[in-house]
Amino acid sequence: MNDNLIIPENYHPLLNLKDTEKAIRLIKEFFQINLSFELNLMRTTAPLFVKSDTGINDNLNGVEKPVSFNVKDMNGIKVEIVQSLAKWKRMALADYNIKSGEGIYTDMNAIRPDEILDNLHSLYVDQWDWERVISAKEQNLVFLKDIVIKIYDVMKRTEKYICHFYPKIKPILPENITFIHTEDMEEMYPELTPQERENVLCKQYGAIFIIGIGADLKNGKPHDGRASDYDDWSTPSDGKYKGLNGDIMVYYPVLDRAFELSSMGIRVDAESLMRQLKLKGNMEREKLLYHQCLLKGELPLTIGGGIGQSRLCMFCLRKAHVGEIQSSIWPDEMLRECRQNNIILL
């Protein structure tokens, strides 16, 4: 048995393969139209790869290795497949001269070769990556929560929309999302791991936004890793807590666990960038192109994040494995075990 795989008891998909593909299109079209309306976002195209050694590619937790290759017709320069577009989007906002209160979104397709493969994680990542210009007075927790509520409302509408077409699926998202800080989670459940805390609280509330991911907690470890150079996770947001970022997570009864749909946050400014580079021991990144543009004041203040496309479809269609939504590759043992339990991976 694959240790990373969860097999729901007596699992049977609610939709066949043909209806699943139709439903995926409905979800994606409906969600992105409503997201762009709620956050005032313009759709843009995005790169699949960027030049190495510029700091533009997202290094996620700081340890994942991107897929790279050399371009023969450009003197063999090295480029990398994107891992996300957190930094590229901010540079694009500057190039487009986007004003405060406006933003962009795009389809982000990435390859993450270091991913541990399970029900929720694939080598292939597809997100709606979005970024919006903000003013200095909006760099606060109140504004972050307001944006989270707007995104969560779009998720609820999307769930109800797909339930209309496929009555076998019943809406389960609660009316409101609950905000909770990682420091409170640690205080409430000091004996549990971060993932166990997420499971308990998601099951209790149905939908939560976990604030403050990246800064060390009292035990000396962060709730989860965050790179030092995109989300602002070290700024005291209200005099007590640290962090102007977080994750939207919901309870997923099919797998009986917490289910992350989005990671987002207010981005670093020059001051918080330098503070976080020092905290993470990443001062060598200060000299990279992206970081120099930010330190010189050439990039706008922004808020942004990523919303998993396959994740949202998986949740709305009550699938047991992300491979029922997207076409990827999986270990042979996982393929066999899934097929034996009515989980048909594309």
Other Cβ atoms closer than 10 A to 67 = 15
Question: Per the structure block, which two tokens stand in for 268?
Answer: 């670093």
Is 112 a catalytic site residue?
yes
Catalytic: which of 58, 80, 131, 269? Answer: 58
Is 90 a catalytic site residue?
no
Find the distance separating the first CA and the last CA of the chain, reported in whole Å. 20
Per DSSP, the three-state class of 340 is helix
Catalytic: which of 32, 36, 84, 127? Answer: 127
Is 58 a catalytic site residue?
yes
Catalytic: which of 247, 276, 310, 311? Answer: 247
- In what helix (H) or strand (E) does residue 211 lie, and over which residues does it extend? strand 207-211
- In terms of Cα–Cα distance, which of 312, 197, 339 is closest to 252? 312
Q: Name residues whose C-beta falls within 8 Å of residue 141's C-beta, 6 or more positions apart in sequence.
A: 211, 237, 238, 241, 244
Q: How many CA atoms lie within 13 A of 346 on its CB side?
A: 19
3 class by beta-carbon count within 10 Å (0-12 exposed, 13-18 middle, 19+ buried): exposed
Catalytic: which of 90, 112, 132, 197? Answer: 112
Catalytic: which of 84, 228, 262, 263? Answer: 263
Is 127 a catalytic site residue?
yes
User: CB of 115 within 8 A of CB of 121?
Assistant: yes
Is 139 a catalytic site residue?
no
User: CB of 150 within 8 A of CB of 328?
Assistant: no
What's the CA angle centered on 249, arms 219 and 278, to 5 degrees?
A: 40
Catalytic: which of 38, 184, 260, 286? Answer: 260
Is 52 a catalytic site residue?
no
Indicate which residues carry an active-site annotation: 58, 112, 127, 247, 260, 263
